[in-house]
Amino acid sequence: MNWLLEPWTHGFMRDALAAGLAAGVACGVLGVFVVFRRMAFVGEAMSHTTLPGLVIAQAKGLSLMAGALASNVVTALGIAVLSSRTSRRRGIRDDAAIGVVFTGMFALGVVLTARIGSWRDLSHLLLGNLLSVAQGDLLFMLCAAVLVLAVILALFKELELASYDSTYADLIGIRSQRLHALLLVLIAFAVVSGVQVVGVVLTSALLVTPAATAALLTRRMVPMLWLSATTAAAAVVGGLLLSYHASLPSGATIVLMAALLFMTAWIWRRTQRG
């Protein structure tokens, strides 16, 4: 029992737990929409496109999270415009739109890094920095999680409908393109939180793996949202405990724990079918 409880006697571990749960739950809930709207590539893109915002914020002495968020919101709106129905008719597919914005923003970040920053200064964000999360960043992550959950709760039926039948949503006046843009902005908030937890390289795992795990266990939306959030939370708690006791990097251990939960669910599903 001491193995389970002793780590939380440290303030930095409690902060890490709160930050990890905030980011994990936000990513877990949004991840269901990401996976079933076939937007998994968005998570990868959003995490990498934090780079120019991070570099500029660091150079100007601003909050790194604010820089990352500004960068991601620009990315979200860019993808929303390029993947609109009008653009699709002009031959731009969704994945191409994401690819163009993603690589363009990341390249901008590399150029800015060469001019005004250094890789060493930002290396902790490439792999996450959960164990030394600042109080301001923790507050941002908690607010981001509350925002994500509040918007999904308020607009759940519209987001759900627009996800499987955007034509009918448009017919009754819901304006699915605007909801798509809103969803991308929410993903931007969640990804910025995720970058702090598991780093730029692994953030998409927080979006995709818990949702994919939940999808193995149920085919219904609301239980899937709960299961995805719970899986993400379990990965954060388990990953933090293991990283504390085994002196492993916390972000990577959380992602490994999520992958382990996915494999467990996958094996269970196979035994059910067999």
Partner 1 sequence: MKDTALSYGGRHLHAPDPGAPALALDGVAAGHSGAAPILHDVSFALPIGKRFALVGPNGSGKSTLLKTVAGLLPMCGGNIRVFGLRVGACHHRTSYVPQRQSINWDFPVDVRRFTLAGRFVHTGWLRRPSAECHAVVDGVLASLGLTEIARRPIGELSGGQQQRLLLARAAAQESDLLLLDEPLNAVDAASRVLVGALLDRLQRAGKSMIVSTHDVGTHDLPFDDVLSIEDGTVRGGAR
Q: Does 155 bind partner 1 (CB under 8 A)?
A: yes
Minimum CB distance to partner 1 smaller for 49 or for 231: 231
Among residues 1, 4, 5, 172, which is the contact residue for partner 1, using CB under 8 A?
172
**CA gap 50, 71 in Å, rounded:** 5
Minimum CB distance to partner 1 smaller for 86 or for 103: 86
What the block records as the tokens of 177 is 């393109």
- Here's the x/- map for partner 1, 76-115, by CB under 8 A: it reads as ----------x--xx-------------------------
Pick the piece of the chain touching partner 1 (CB under 8 A) from 55-63, 97-105, 166-174, 245-253. 166-174
Pick the piece of the chain touching partner 1 (CB under 8 A) from 156-164, 197-205, 234-242, 260-268. 156-164
Among residues 8, 110, 158, 230, which is the contact residue for partner 1, using CB under 8 A?
158
Residue of 34, 38, 36, 72 lying closest to 53 (CA atoms):
72
Among residues 36, 66, 121, 126, which is the contact residue for partner 1, using CB under 8 A?
36
Q: Does 161 bind partner 1 (CB under 8 A)?
A: yes
By CB under 8 A, the count of residues binding partner 1 is: 29
Q: By CB under 8 A, name the binding residues for partner 1.
A: 32, 36-37, 86, 89-90, 154-155, 157-158, 160-161, 163-165, 167-168, 170-175, 215, 218-221, 224
